[in-house]
Amino acid sequence: MARLCDNATHIAQVVGFNDLEDQLDRYLQTMRRAGFAEVKFDVLATADDGRLWRDVPGRRWWARAGDRSSVVTHTAHEVVLFHKLA
């Protein structure tokens, strides 16, 4: 994807993770290895981490038990990530 971008290109992605602690960091590392740097826009931030997060009512990532009582709280959130060429 980096070959299709120039310095004016911004990539916007809406992403949800079922293991936020582990997967967000790995995702961001993968984007860095692909040649991208995360960009944060303070005016859009909804959290202290400088990112835009949103609640997703009805997200259906159940654990093996198959009922809502086993849904991990953070699976009902998505983050909007912005990147550009590093």
Q: What does the pLDDT read at residue 64?
A: 43
What's the pLDDT score for residue 63? 44
**What total number of domains does the chain contain?**
1
Closest among 2, 6, 11, 5 to 80, alpha carbons compared: 11
Please tell me the pTM assigned to this model.
0.77
Q: Which domain holds residue 79?
A: 2-85
Q: What is the pLDDT of residues 50-83, one digit of tens each?
A: 999 988 776 655 544 455 555 555 556 789 999 9
Query: H helices of 35-77, where?
Result: none
Give residue-wise pLDDT tens across range 36-53. 999 999 999 999 999 999
Residues near 80 by beta carbon (within 8 Å), at least 6 away in sequence: 12, 13, 14, 15, 44, 51, 52, 53, 54
